[in-house]
Structure 1
Amino acid sequence: MSLENYRVETLGDFVGRELGVSEWVLVDQERIDAFAACTGDRQWIHVDVERAKRESPFGGTIAHGYLTLSLLASLAMEIGIVPKDAAAGLNYGLDKVRFMTPVKAGARVRNRVTLESAENKGGGRVLVKTTNTLEIEGEDKPALVAQTLAMLIA
């Protein structure tokens, strides 16, 4: 991302503005299976392709909600939410998350990020809150909407 004048000291000027939209990323069965192996969440609706085709109301497997949530960080970094003059940006947590639409295996998603607030915490630290909307290609409703927090270190 290259928002003109987007720096730690000018974050306040960007509050309420969309910072950008990431590229599309594929959520395929391989990614879903890797997440299941990493987390131990092997519920059939995520990993049993044949059963999901037969029994799932979605016609196949779907990504874990937490897998879709975990994509936000890298996609937000792709957009450039940490200003280039910041020494670091640290995950500080979540204020609100709503899973709205399942992501079917093979779907592509992208993150749309809006800066909600930038609060100076002193000592060269700024707490930023963003709203992240994980859109699913071809779907009307997003996969999720989450307010994330990051501590920027100047």
Structure 2
Amino acid sequence: MTSTTTLNLSTIDLHVGRELGVSGWMLVDQQRIDGFAQCTGDDQWIHVDAERARRESPFGSTIAHGYLTLATLATSAFEVYIKAAGIAQAVNYGLDKVRFIAPVKAGARIRTRIRLIEAQRKADNRVLITTENTVEIEGHAKPALVAHALLLLAA
């Protein structure tokens, strides 16, 4: 965190415009991709058929579902700031902007860089925040995705 002010619900306004932190690296292996395909029913060959993907895909291997990569934002948020800030409840409120920029190949590692864009006070000591989430792929210049996520936080 770039500020000496501790992040919590009462001080969150002071962190608007700042990077909240960067998650640790997460492996996106074929097992994770296959599990996501099974849960969602999206078993398109480009995700689950490694041999065919090697032969026919422009990426030379299977790739993670874009929505799998997007789903990692929750894990990253908990790791980077929700637990550390003592936030008791975080509810997904929506997404304002999502751009899938580069594919995540099976076996790649990703991490998320989180910046606080906005914090709006709500009733009952809740705060609606908007974060910019940039999912980076280890060893690649282009990120996998950039998303503006909204979360409703409560103490």
Give me the TM-score of the superposition, normalised by structure 2: 0.94
CA RMSD of aligned residues (A): 1.6
Contact 1:22 1:111 in 2 (8 A): yes
Q: How does 1:92-131 map to 2 (within 5 A)?
A: 92-131=93-132
User: How many residues align structurally?
Assistant: 154
1:44 counterpart residue number: 45
Query: Residues 16-55 of structure 1: matches in 2 within 5 Å?
Result: 16-55=17-56
Between the aligned partners of 2:84 and 2:152, the Cα distance in structure 1 is 12
Give the 3-state SS of the residue equivalent to 1:103 in structure 2: coil
1:9–1:83 Cα change, 3 Å: farther
Return the offset for 1:99. Answer: 0.2
- CA 1:4–1:145 in 2, change beyond 3 Å: closer, same or farther? same
Q: Secondary structure at the match of 2:90?
A: strand
1-structure distance, mates of 2:73, 2:37: 18
Q: Specify the alignment match of 1:142 in structure 2.
A: 143
% identical equivalent positions: 62
In structure 1, how many angstroms separate the alpha carbons of the residues matched to 2:139 and 2:86? Answer: 36
Please say if residues 92 and 151 of structure 2, whose CA atoms lie closer than 8 Å, have aligned partners that are also in contact. yes
Q: Does the 8 Å contact 2:132/2:149 carry over to 1?
A: yes
- Higher mean C-alpha displacement, 129-138 vs 77-86: 77-86
In structure 1, list runs of 5 or more residues that go unmatched: none
For residue 128 of structure 1, give the secondary structure of its aligned residue in structure 2.
strand
Specify the SS of the correspondent of 2:142: coil
Q: Distance in 2 between matches of 1:83 and 1:139?
A: 29
The one-letter code matched in structure 1 to 2:29 is D
